[in-house]
Amino acid sequence: MNITTSEVQRGSSVSLEKLAIALQQEVGAGKNRKVLDFREAYLLIEQHLASNGTQKSACDSFNAAFGYKLHQPQFRKLLSAERKSRSETGDALACVACGQRLAMPCDALANENSDAE
């Protein structure tokens, strides 16, 4: 039984396609899905917080919209991680009304000011 090169390539390409599909499904499920959903909602969350909304209401709304049951410490951890990630990549927030880039989210500024007192 002779196997040609094209048959080997065809067989391996099918395996590679199966691997790609499996990896995509893994990214779309579990913890990764939660992080992706949070990343998608991040701008709206920061807008809510910048307009003096609370993290509790943002957490509750996120849970309702995406069907999660995050507690506030988990929500804060995701928020902090996303802020750090965006800070490292230079992806700054911009004001929705005027388009001016914000150096850091308003509630983070408030926390820094209260620490200085």
Q: What is the reported pLDDT for 62? A: 96
Average pLDDT over residues 64-68: 94
Helix, coil or strand: residue 102: strand
Count of Cβ atoms closer than 10 Å to residue 110 Cβ: 12
Q: Which DSSP helix (H) or strand (E) runs through 94? A: strand 93-94
Residues 68, 59: Cα–Cα separation, whole Å: 10
Reported as a single tens digit per residue, the pLDDT across 76-95 is 999 999 999 988 887 766 66
Residues 49, 36: Cα–Cα separation, whole Å: 20
Q: What is the reported pLDDT for 48? A: 94
Q: What is the reported pLDDT for 103? A: 53
Helix, coil or strand: residue 96: coil
Q: Which amino acid is at 25?
A: Q
Q: How far is CA 49 from the centre of its chain?
A: 16
pTM: 0.59
Q: Flag whether pLDDT at 116 surpasses 50.
A: no
Q: Are 44 and 61 in contact (CB under 8 A)?
A: no
